[in-house]
Amino acid sequence: MQNKRFKQADREALIALGVYGFFFLWWTLFAFGLGSGDPEHYSYVMGMPTWFFYSCVLGYPVVTVLLWGIIKVTFSDMPLDASQDNLEDDLPNIERIAKAEEDC
């Protein structure tokens, strides 16, 4: 059986790649979608072209908040050293790590 830590790390890596793919799609659709016309017909938000505002200025904070939420909800803290392999379920949560540190 594969170590549960590797399964968790693989899942977290796929989530991170998925969010990066979402950000790339967001940026591409806004930058090339709104910015593909004649610059004389651009609309502006806060003095910036709409395509630039939505792709670069708004996109970064949206993805940052999205990543923060995903990390808080789906990512888990786990030891990476081999000496922790015998812990219960091989994927301890923060409370078990704290308890193990208190017992030492």
Of 40, 30, 91, the C-alpha closest to 62 is: 30
Q: What tens digit of pLDDT does each residue of 12-47 get?
A: 999 999 999 999 999 999 888 887 778 788 889 999
Residue 67: pLDDT band (50, 70, 90) is very high
What is the total count of domains within the chain?
Answer: 1
The pTM for the full model equals: 0.66
Residue 99 structural domain: 4-103
Q: How far apart are CA 71 and CA 8, in angstroms?
A: 13
Q: Among 62, 67, 70, 101, which residue's Cα sits nearest to residue 84?
A: 101
